[in-house]
């Protein structure tokens, strides 16, 4: 995997400022209990071992940024390799994954069981 397939949150922010459409793919490990409260706005959420079965849901005509919710970027890099081998010329892996995305203050949307966490705690 060449370094040109890895992008930073600064790159993502710059693309957004320029109005360039980005399609986000979030990879999750099947064994993780999903208590996520947010994801990148509009992201397609996939289990890492099932991602290859969902290639038809990913557009080829625009930039695709894959990130992992797990530590490390390897799951995202593996999917980017697969995407490139299937003709996705604009596929990239986000350095630092979702943690970096959140830290950069990029747009998110609320999802999953995490939405109800406040109610569970009596808030």
How would DSSP label each residue in 9-75?
A: HHHHHHHHHTT--EEEEEEE-TTS-----EEETTPEEEEGGGGGGGGGGS-SSSEEEEEESSSSSHH
d(CA 2, CA 111): 33
Strand 108-110 and strand 38-40: the pairing is antiparallel
Model confidence, pTM? 0.85
Q: Does domain 3-115 have CATH number 3.40.640.10?
A: no
pLDDT band at 116 (very low <50, low <70, confident <90, very high): low
The domain locations on the chain are 3-115
Q: Answer whether 69's CB lies under 8 Å from 98's CB.
A: yes
pLDDT per residue as tens digits for the range 1-30: 456 899 999 999 999 999 999 999 999 877
d(CA 77, CA 114): 27
């Amino acid at each position: 995997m060449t370094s040109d397939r890895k992008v930073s949150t600064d790159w993502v922010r710059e693309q957004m400022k320029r109005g360039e459409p980005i399609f986000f793919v979030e990879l999750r490990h099947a064994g993780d209990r999903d208590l996520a409260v947010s994801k990148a706005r509009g992201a397609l959420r996939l289990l890492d071992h099932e991602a290859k079965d969902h290639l038809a849901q990913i557009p080829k005509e625009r930039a695709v940024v894959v990130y992992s919710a797990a530590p490390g970027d390897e799951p995202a890099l593996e999917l980017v390799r697969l995407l490139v081998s299937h003709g996705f010329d604009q596929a990239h892996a986000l350095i630092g994954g979702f943690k970096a995305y959140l830290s950069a203050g990029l747009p998110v949307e609320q999802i999953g069981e995490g939405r109800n966490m406040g109610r569970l705690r009596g808030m």
